[in-house]
Amino acid sequence: MRRTLLQSVFLYTCVFAVAIFTTGPLLWLVTMSVSAPTDLTEVPLRWIPSEFDFSRYGALLDIDGGSGERFLSALRNSILTAGGATAIALFLAIPAAYSFSRRNASMVLLFAFLATIMMPPITYILPLYSTFSSLGMLNKTITLVIVYTAMLLPFATWLMKANIDVLPLEVEQAAFMEGASTAYTIRTVVLPLALPAIAATAMLSFLVAWDEFFYALIFTNDLSAKTLPVAIADFSAGRVTDYGVIASVGVLATLPPAILAICFQKFIVSGLVAGSVKG
Amino acid sequence: MFGRRRKQEKWILLAPAILVLALITLTPLANTFWLSFTDTRISALPTPVRFIGLENYIYAFTDPEFRDSIYRTLYFTIVSVGLEGILGVAVAVLLNQKFRGQLILRALIILPWAVPTIVNAVAWRLIYHPDYGALNSLLFQLGFISDYRSWIGDPSTAMNMVILADVWKNFPLVAYVALAALQTVPGDLNKAAAIEGAGPWKRFWSITLPWIAGPLMVVMVLRTIEAFRVFDIIYVMTGGGPADSTKTASFFVYQEYFNYLRSGSGASYAVLVAGISAVLILFYYSNAKRQASGATA
Amino acid sequence: MPEQHILSVDNLQKKYGDVQVLKDINVSMEPGEFLVLVGPSGCGKSTLLSCISGLTEVSSGAIQIGGKDCTHAEPANRDIAMVFQSYALFPNMSVERNIGFGLEVRKVADAEKKKKVADVADLLKIEHLLHRRPAELSGGQRQRVAMGRALVRDPKLFLFDEPLSNLDAKLRVTMRTEIKRIHQATGASIVYVTHDQIEAMTLATRIVVLKDGVIQQIGTPHEIYNTPVNAFVADFMGSPSMNLMSGTATPDEGRIRLEIPTPQGAPIELVDTTTAPEVFPNGPTEVLIGLRPEAMTDQKLNNGQNLQTANCLLEVVEPAGADTYAVVHLGGTEAIARLSADAPVQAGEMSPITFDLSKISYFDVTSGNRL
C-alpha cells in the first residue's frame, strides 16, 4: 500500500520522536562527560560543549589517581565477578539443561528453578549475609561469584534447554549406538552443535551479572570487591562537584554491554524474546 | 536409554545445579521464614533468639508505613509496566512499518536496555537535577515551565519521575517481544480485513492486538514481577525519599534490615512481599504455559 | 536353536500408555539374512527397530542378539550398528572422524583405526571425502558415510531405518543397488525398515509385513508376492497392487466356477482348475478374488493351461513405457490389467483379456484372510 504524504509525515515524525526519546538521555550523558565543568553549571544549560574535555576519561583510566583507582578496581571486580559467575553458571547449566531436555526431568522443577530468581532478593539477603559474615566471606569477589552463579543458573539452564530441544535427536542416538557415554556425547556432539546458543547464553548471563546491584551493595564495602554499579552509586552519592565525572563513569560502564548489544543484536534479541515469552 | 540409567543420569546431571540453588536460595528462604517468627536483631554480639509466633506478622499487617510502601510499589509497578506496554507496542508497530532507517532504529532501541540499571538511575538523576538538570533547562527553554523545579525532590512528582526513568530503560524488551509477535501476523489477514473495509485502527484492535496478546501478556507479567521488586533505581535516585514518597516494599525491608537492624520483623515483611511475588510468579507460569501449549498446537 | 539365530525377538510388546504399538512380535533371523520390515506409516516397524536397537525399551518380551539376551542391554552393549533415516552424522566432525567415532569411543589405537576407516572408505568409494564435513557432502555421499560408520565396527547386526527415504528417486535406486552390493560383499546380517514395498522386494531375503503393530506375514519376497496371507498384504505389496475383485466362487465337479460382476450387466465367468474345490466347502461363496495385474493381460502366456479369455471394457488406458496399463471395472473395483506396450487398445473399447488363473488368490470377504 502506498502512503499518502500526510501519512509519511506522521510516520517520520514518530520515527524521529522515538529516536530522540531513545538516544537523547544517552547522548546527553556522553555530552556531559566531555563538557567543560563550567558548561554543566550554566543556567539555562549550554547544550553544545564550549570545548571537548576528555580529561575525565584520562583520570578515570589512570590507576594512580584517586577516582581512577576506584573506577579501575571496580571495573576489575565487575569483570571477575560477572565473568566468573557466567562461566560457572554455564558449566552447571549445560548438564542440567541436557537433563531437562533429554532425560525427562520434570518441567515443574525447571519452573521452580526459575521461580528462585523471580523472588525479590530481599527474601534471601539476610540469611546469606549472616552466613557469609560468619564464614568471613563478606567483601570478597568469590562471594559475589557464588551468589551470581545461583542468580544466573536458572535462566541459563532455561535458555540452554530451549536450544538443546531443537538439536537433532538422532545425532545423539547415533553417538549412543556407537557406544559413547552420555558425558562423551555431551562433550563431543551436543556442545559443538550448541555453541551459538552457549555464546548467546553466556552473553546474556554476563550482562545480567554486570547489571546486578543489590547483592553487591550488601556484600561488598571496599575497593577489593566493589563492582561497578556500587562504585557508580558511590560516585553519584558522594560529594563530587563535577557531574561530568559521574557521567563519564556511566558512559564507561555502559560501553561493554552496549557494544555487545549492538554487535550481537540478533543473538541477544532472540535470546531475550525467547527467554521472556516461552514458559 | 533405559529406565534406571536414564533416571540416574537425570539426577546426576541436575545435582550440581540443584545443590547450588538449594544452598543459595532455598536455605535462605527457609531461614527467612523462620526468622520472621523471631525477634532477632542484627548485632555484633550474639543475642538470644526468641520465638515470638505471629507477633511480627500482626504488627506488619497493622503497620501503616508498610501498607503505604506496598501501595507505592503497586503504583510504581502498574504505572511503569502499563506505560512500557503501551510504549512498547506502539514502538513495535512503528518498527514493523517500512521506512528509511528502519534497521538503524531497530538497533538503537536496544541501547536503553543495555544501559546498566544503576547508570540509568544516575543519568536520570543528573537529568532531573534541580539546578543544572537537562529536563529543567529543556522545558524552560521551550517555555513549558517558568521556574526550575525539583523533580525528584518534590514528593508529588518524585515517584512519577522514577517511573519515567524505569520506562525508558525497560520499554525495549516489551517492544522487541511485541515486534517478534507482530512479524508472525499473516499479511493476508490484514489485507483481507482491509478489503472487508476495516480501517487501520479497527484492524489493530480486532486483528493485530489479539494476535500478539499471548506473548505480550507473558512479557508484561514478567516485567510486573521485576517491577514489583524494584530497589536499585530507588536507592540511587531518591533513597526512598522525599518524605518516603518513593519508599517501595523492597526498600522498606532493606531499611528494616540494614538501617534499623531488626532482622526478625524485617523477615516478616520480606515473607509478605515474597508471598505477593509468588502469586505473580504463579500467574506468569500459567500464562507462559498456555502460551507454550498454544504455540505448539 | 537360539545360537544359530543372529536375532530373535520373542513375544515382544510395546505400549505407550494405553496405546499398544507392537503386539506379540515373534521374529528370528539367520546370520547373513537381509530382513526387511515393511508396512504403512504407523504400523510399528520403526518402533520395532528402535526396540531392537535399544533406543526404546520394550514393555515385555525378549530380544536376543547373537544368542545373547539383550532385552535390557544398552544400545552400546548389543554389538549392533544403525544407519538412521537422517543419517545422523556428527556435523562438527570430518567424515573420517564420523566413521571412526565408534572406534574412538572404544579407544582403538590410531593406526588400526585409520586402517579400518580406510578399508571401509575403499569399500564405499568415499576415500576422497574423508577430510570433508558432512555439510559439504551430497545426500548420497552422506548415506555412504552413515553406512561406513556402521560397517567399520563389524558388528553382529546392522539396523537400517528408512535409509533411502531422504534421497531423490534416481539416487534411491542407485543406493539400493549399492546396499545390495555391500550386503553381498560382506555377508552382513541386516534388519532394514522401509515403507517402500519395492525396496522391500528388491533388497530382502525375507520380508516382515506389519500393520497396526501386528505381524501380518513373514516370508521370502516370492512368498509374500505370490501367496499373500491376507488382502492387506496382497494390496500393500506389489505395484500396481493386486486386484481384489468381489465375486462368487462355486465348487463344481472338481473345479471352481467364478463369476465376477461388471457394470455392463453380464458378469465375467471363469473356471479355476488349479485350486482345490475343497477351499469352498459350503457351496457358492462370496469371495475376494486376487489377481496380479500381470495375470490379466493381452499377451500370449504359455506358462500353464489355466488361461482363459474374456471381453472387458477398458475404461482408462495408461501407456507406461514397457507396459500399458488398462483400468477395467470388475467386481466392484478398478482392476488394472497389464498389457503389452504396443497393444492396439483404446479407452472405451471392449478388448479380450487373458486371465492367468494359476496365480489366483482367494480371500475371505469379511476377514480378508487367505482361503
Q: Are residues C250 and C229 in the same domain?
A: no
Chain A, chain B: beta-carbon pairs less than 8 Å apart? 289
The predicted model gives C75-99 an average pLDDT of 91
By Cβ distance, the residue of A126, A157, A232 closest to B32 is A126
Q: Are residues A79 and A190 in the same domain?
A: yes
Task: For residue C13, give its domain range.
Answer: 2-236
Locate the chain C residue with the closest alpha carbon to B6.
C74
Q: Chain C: nearest CA to B245, how far in angstroms?
A: 58
Q: Are residues A71 and A38 in the same domain?
A: no
Q: Chain A: nearest CA to B69, how far in angstroms?
A: 15
Within a domain: residue C86?
Answer: yes
Q: Are residues C259 and C166 in the same domain?
A: no
B28 to A123: CB separation less than 8 angstroms, yes or no: yes
Q: Are residues C268 and C188 in the same domain?
A: no
Predicted pLDDT at B58 = 87
Predicted pLDDT at C129 = 92
A120-154: b or e for each residue (b if 16 or more CB lie within 10 Å)? bbbbbbbbbbbbbeeeeeebbbebbbbbbbbbbbb
Q: Are residues C57 and C156 in the same domain?
A: yes
Given C187, C203, C236, the domain boundary residue is C236
pLDDT for residue A279 is more than 60: no
What φ, ψ does residue C182 adopt, rounded to 5°? -65, -40
Show residues of chain B in contact with A277, CB under 8 Å: 177, 180, 215, 218-219, 288, 291
Neighbours of chain C (3+ CB pairs under 8 A): A, B
Neighbours of C255 (CB within 10 A): 15
The predicted model gives A132-142 an average pLDDT of 89
By Cβ distance, the residue of C81, C82, C86 closest to A168 is C86
Residues 16 through 45 of chain A touching chain C, CB cutoff 8 Å: none
Q: Are residues A70 and A188 in the same domain?
A: yes
Per DSSP, the three-state class of C154 is coil
Q: Are residues C254 and C217 in the same domain?
A: no
A28 to B140: CB separation less than 8 angstroms, yes or no: no
pLDDT digits (tens, 9 = 90+) for B102-149: 888 888 888 999 899 999 999 998 888 888 888 888 888 888 888 888
Determine contact: C77 vs chain B, CB below 8 A.
no
Q: Are residues A84 and A213 in the same domain?
A: yes
**Considering chain C, what is the average pLDDT of its residues?**
89
Q: Are residues A77 and A182 in the same domain?
A: yes
In sequence order, which residues have a C-beta less than 8 Å from that of residue B127 and are 6 or more positions away?
A: A25, A28, B133, B134, B135
Q: Are residues C226 and C271 in the same domain?
A: no
The pairing of beta strand C157-161 with beta strand C323-330: unpaired
Q: Are residues C37 and C181 in the same domain?
A: yes
Q: Are residues A173 and A132 in the same domain?
A: yes
Predicted pLDDT at A66 = 76
Show residues of chain C in contact with A170, CB under 8 Å: 84-86, 88
Within a domain: residue A154?
Answer: yes
Q: Are residues A136 and A70 in the same domain?
A: yes
Q: Are residues A119 and A94 in the same domain?
A: yes
Within a domain: residue C370?
Answer: no
Residue of A77, A47, A84 whose CA lies nearest to A202: A84
Q: Are residues C247 and C199 in the same domain?
A: no
Determine contact: A166 vs chain C, CB below 8 A.
no
Instruction: CATH number of the domain at C271, please.
Output: 2.40.50.140
Show residues of chain B in contact with A135, CB under 8 Å: none
Neighbours of chain B (3+ CB pairs under 8 A): A, C
By Cβ distance, the residue of B18, B134, B277 closest to A119 is B277
Chain B, chain C: beta-carbon pairs less than 8 Å apart? 8
Determine contact: A206 vs chain B, CB below 8 A.
no
pLDDT for residue C332 is more than 60: yes
Locate the chain C residue with the closest alpha carbon to B4.
C72
A29 to B123: CB separation less than 8 angstroms, yes or no: yes
pLDDT digits (tens, 9 = 90+) for A223-276: 888 999 998 888 888 766 778 888 898 999 999 999 988 888 887 777 777 766
Q: Are residues C168 and C247 in the same domain?
A: no
pLDDT for residue B297 is more than 50: no
Within a domain: residue C161?
Answer: yes
As beta bridge partners, residue C339 has: C324
Locate the chain C residue with the closest alpha carbon to A184.
C105
* CA atoms of C54 and A195, how far apart (whole Å): 29
**C-interface mutation test, from B2, B5, B7, most C Cβ less than 10 A away:** B2
Within a domain: residue C220?
Answer: yes
Show residues of chain C in contact with B5, CB under 8 Å: 74
* CA atoms of C228 and C235, how far apart (whole Å): 9
The predicted model gives A73-87 an average pLDDT of 93
DSSP C205: S
Within a domain: residue A226?
Answer: yes
The predicted model gives B171-184 an average pLDDT of 88
Q: Are residues A204 and A231 in the same domain?
A: yes
Show residues of chain B in contact with C55, CB under 8 Å: 1
pLDDT digits (tens, 9 = 90+) for C119-148: 999 988 899 999 999 999 988 899 999 999
Chain A, chain C: beta-carbon pairs less than 8 Å apart? 60
- Sorting pLDDT into bands at 50, 70 and 90, what band is C2? very low
Q: What is the DSSP string of chain A?
A: -PPPHHHHHHHHHHHHHHHHHHHHHHHHHHHHHHS-TTGGG-SS--SS-SS---HHHHHHT-TTSHHHHHHHHHHHHHHHHHHHHHHHHHHHHHHHHHHHHHS---HHHHHHHHHHHHS-THHHHHHHHHHHHHTT-TT-HHHHHHHHHHHHHHHHHHHHHHHHHTS-HHHHHHHHHTT--HHHHIIIIIHHHTHHHHHHHHHHHHHHHHH--HHHHHH--STTT--HHHHHHHHHHTT---HHHHHHHHHHHHHHHHHHHHHTHHHHHHHHHHHHH--
Predicted pLDDT at B184 = 81
pLDDT for residue C225 is more than 90: yes
Q: Are residues A44 and A112 in the same domain?
A: no
pLDDT for residue C38 is more than 70: yes
pLDDT digits (tens, 9 = 90+) for C195-215: 998 999 999 999 999 999 999
Within a domain: residue A58?
Answer: no
Within a domain: residue C369?
Answer: no
pLDDT for residue C37 is more than 90: yes
The number of distinct structural domains making up chain C is 2
* CA atoms of B124 and C185, how far apart (whole Å): 78
Residue of C262, C240, C268 whose CA lies nearest to C336: C240
Locate the chain C residue with the closest alpha carbon to A193.
C92
Show residues of chain C in contact with A173, CB under 8 Å: 55, 75, 82, 84, 88
Determine contact: A188 vs chain C, CB below 8 A.
yes
- Sorting pLDDT into bands at 50, 70 and 90, what band is C1? very low
By Cβ distance, the residue of A18, A230, A258 closest to B114 is A258
| Cell numbers linked to A149 | 552463579
Within a domain: residue A28?
Answer: yes
Instruction: CATH number of the domain at C219, please.
Output: 3.40.50.300
Predicted pLDDT at B243 = 84
Within a domain: residue A8?
Answer: yes
- Which domains are assigned to chain B? 59-99+170-296 (1.10.3720.10)
Distance set, CA C314 to CA A231, C263, C326, C334, C353 (Å): 93, 12, 6, 10, 10
Given C209, C236, C263, the domain boundary residue is C236
Predicted pLDDT at C309 = 84
* CA atoms of A225 and A229, how far apart (whole Å): 12
pLDDT for residue C346 is more than 70: yes
Q: What is the DSSP string of chain B?
A: --HHHHHHHHHHHHHHHHHHHIIIIIHHHHHHHHHTTB-----SS-----B-TTHHHHHHHH-HHHHHHHHHHHHHHHHHHHHHHHHHHHHHHHHTS--TTHHHHHHHTHHHHHS-HHHHHHHHHHHT-TTT-HHHHHHHHTTS-SS---TTTSTTTHHHHHHHHHHHHHHHHHHHHHHHHHTTS-HHHHHHHHHTT--HHHHIIIIIHHHHHHHHHHHHHHHHHHHHT--HHHHHHTTT-STTTT--HHHHHHHHHHTS--HHHHHHHHHHHHHHHHHHHHHHHHHHHHHHHHHH-
Residue of A75, A65, A7, A46 whose CA lies nearest to A228: A75
Task: For residue A140, give its domain range.
Answer: 63-277
The rounded percent of chain B whose pLDDT value lies above 70 is: 96
The number of distinct structural domains making up chain A is 2
Find where cell 544407519 sits: C83
Within a domain: residue A120?
Answer: yes
The predicted model gives C333-339 an average pLDDT of 89
Q: Are residues A43 and A92 in the same domain?
A: no
* CA atoms of A22 and A205, how far apart (whole Å): 24
Q: In what order do the strands lie in the sheet with C307-319?
A: C296-297, C350-356, C307-319, C323-330, C333-340
Q: Chain C: nearest CA to A176, how far in angstroms?
A: 6
A29 to B235: CB separation less than 8 angstroms, yes or no: no
**A-interface mutation test, from C49, C90, C108, C158, most A Cβ less than 10 A away:** C90
Q: Are residues C191 and C258 in the same domain?
A: no
Q: Are residues C322 and C359 in the same domain?
A: yes
Within a domain: residue A216?
Answer: yes
The rounded percent of chain B whose pLDDT value lies above 90 is: 25
Determine contact: B5 vs chain C, CB below 8 A.
yes
Residue of B93, B143, B168, B162 whose CA lies nearest to A20: B168
Neighbours of chain A (3+ CB pairs under 8 A): B, C
Determine contact: C49 vs chain A, CB below 8 A.
no
B1 to C72: CB separation less than 8 angstroms, yes or no: no
Show residues of chain B in contact with C74, CB under 8 Å: 1-2, 5
Within a domain: residue A39?
Answer: yes
Q: Chain A: nearest CA to B214, how far in angstroms?
A: 9
Q: Chain B: nearest CA to C33, how far in angstroms?
A: 27
Q: Are residues A80 and A1 in the same domain?
A: no
Determine contact: C72 vs chain B, CB below 8 A.
yes
pLDDT for residue B163 is more than 90: yes
Residue of B145, B143, B110, B139 whose CA lies nearest to B127: B139
CB B132 within 8 A of CB A45: yes
Given C174, C209, C236, the domain boundary residue is C236
A126 to B288: CB separation less than 8 angstroms, yes or no: no
Determine contact: A103 vs chain C, CB below 8 A.
no
C106 to A179: CB separation less than 8 angstroms, yes or no: yes
CB A167 within 8 A of CB A180: no
The predicted model gives C13-34 an average pLDDT of 91
The predicted model gives A148-158 an average pLDDT of 92
Find where cell 517492544 sits: B175
Instruction: CATH number of the domain at A221, please.
Output: 1.10.3720.10
* CA atoms of B164 and B171, how far apart (whole Å): 10
pLDDT digits (tens, 9 = 90+) for B61-109: 888 888 898 999 999 999 999 999 999 999 998 988 888 888 888 888 8
* CA atoms of A137 and A220, how far apart (whole Å): 10
Residue of C191, C190, C290, C180 whose CA lies nearest to C236: C290
Given A53, A72, A89, the domain boundary residue is A53
Q: Are residues C343 and C264 in the same domain?
A: yes
Residues 47 through 86 of chain A touching chain B, CB cutoff 8 Å: none
Within a domain: residue C371?
Answer: no
